[in-house]
Amino acid sequence: MSRTRTALGLCTAALLALTVACGTTEDPAAAGTQAAGAAASAVAATTETETSTDSGPGSDAAAGSSVAPSAGAASSAASSATGPVEITDGRGTTLTLEKPATRVVALEWGEAETLASLGVMPVGVADLKGYTTWDVAEPMDSSVKDVGTRSEPSIDAILALKPDLVVITGDSADQAKLIGNSVPVLVTKGTDPTRQLDRLRDDVTLLAAATGTEAAGEKLLADMDSTLVNGKAALAAAGNAGDPFLMADGWKEGSAVAIRVFAKGSQNSDVAEALGLKNAWTGKGDAAWGLAQTDVEGMAAMTDPALRLFYSASEEDVFVDGLAQNPIWKSLPFVKSEQLTKLRTGTWTFGGPASVDFFVEQVLAAYGA
């Protein structure tokens, strides 16, 4: 799949204009893989197109990781309830805030969710309507304002909220520096397929340090880790330890259905494997999110009769509407035995601890554990 990035050059230091360049239009996860950039009133734009299977946010080896945040995350964050806060963010940049941030704008849904879980309701969120559809694990309250799309947030809307911090994610450090001329910007890692759950712990610890909510962050992570430990025990007791699974979502490309598989290194794969299940997809995921793209023919090798498919479809359900009459699909053992679990609407597969807990709850229910 191809994606287009627009890199904005700074010409003069007049009014700061905010823009993001990235993403595909196929699914909302893709729109959030880049964070916002800014430029002066005179802006020169260049366009670069690259081919990539990375179409969205995504985790792995964390299934066997320690329950505590990594030493790097803990040592990089120092905060107090009222005094200055010094933190080193996901790009390695040290930020100093006069005090813990309380008016925070989040330009990615996973970070918005985590902030709310920490007790810091964002004042603004990019694509707020989309968030309410795709992430119900941690609802936004009525005070939260929409600040434009994740691909093109509005500088005017952001500045009107008088934030003391803007939180973004992804590979947009250059743009973050430009935004920071007006508002401090914190960049989380957002993804790391080599250590996805530990990466999530690091991001939670970072956001907690920036907002002076370290105690809430520790509890949030402890609760998540308890959910994983208890869930693994419950699946083992139910006789499902080591059972094969697949996790996927999809969309229509003309009359065909594109299927995106959550390979090892994607967040939900790491969560399911932390529960003691085994990802049946042996192909590699992309380097950014641990995601792999295939089609119904590519699923034909999934013949293990014990396999269960979990899939996400918060809007169009292509697995029902697009594949129900497909002979290859109908011949698959997990389809014939009805071992398919559609995740509940609003299960965000790139979210924070609340989304992890929500997913685990549905996995246990699917196995009757």
pLDDT for 355: 98
pLDDT for 315: 86
Q: How much of the chain is helix, strand and coil, in % rounded to 5? A: 35, 25, 45
User: 178 and 235, same structural domain?
Assistant: no
User: 21 and 120, same structural domain?
Assistant: no
User: 314 and 270, same structural domain?
Assistant: yes
State which of 168, 189, 220 marks the end of a domain. 220
State how far Cα 50 lies from the chain centre: 22
Token representation of residue 165 = 């911090």
Phi then psi for residue 250, to 5 deg, are: -170, 175
pLDDT for 174: 53
State which of 161, 190, 220 marks the end of a domain. 220
User: 281 and 311, same structural domain?
Assistant: yes
pLDDT for 11: 30
The structure's pTM equals 0.79
pLDDT for 316: 87
pLDDT for 195: 97
User: 145 and 112, same structural domain?
Assistant: yes
User: Number of structural domains, the chain?
Assistant: 3
User: 71 and 28, same structural domain?
Assistant: no
Looking up residue 289, the CATH number of its domain turns out to be: 3.40.50.1980
Digitized pLDDT (tens) for each residue of the chain, 369 residues in all:
333 333 333 333 333 333 333 333 334 444 444 433 333 333 233 333 333 333 454 333 333 333 333 433 433 344 446 789 999 999 898 999 999 999 999 999 999 999 999 999 999 999 999 999 999 999 999 999 999 988 788 888 999 999 999 999 875 555 566 566 789 999 999 999 999 999 999 999 999 999 999 999 999 999 999 999 999 999 999 999 999 999 999 999 888 899 999 999 999 999 999 999 999 999 999 999 999 999 999 999 999 999 999 999 988 899 998 998 999 999 999 999 999 999 999 999 999 999 999 999 999 999 999
Residue 362, Cβ density class (10 Å: 0-12 exposed, 13-18 middle, ≥19 buried): middle
| Long-range contacts, stretch 93-101, CB < 8 angstroms, 24+ apart | 93/173, 93/176, 93/187, 95/184, 95/185, 95/186, 95/210, 97/164, 97/165, 97/184, 97/210, 99/164, 99/212, 100/210, 100/211, 100/212, 100/213, 101/163, 101/164, 101/165, 101/184, 101/210, 101/211, 101/212
Residue 107, Cβ density class (10 Å: 0-12 exposed, 13-18 middle, ≥19 buried): buried
pLDDT for 255: 84
pLDDT for 175: 52
User: At a CB cut-off of 8 Å and minimum separation 6, what does 186 contact?
Assistant: 87, 89, 95, 165, 166, 167, 168, 206, 207, 210
User: 95 and 22, same structural domain?
Assistant: no
User: 197 and 74, same structural domain?
Assistant: yes
pLDDT for 178: 56
pLDDT for 181: 76
User: 277 and 157, same structural domain?
Assistant: no
Nearest one of 178, 157, 230 to 16, comparing CA atoms: 178
Structural domain for 280, as ranges? 227-366
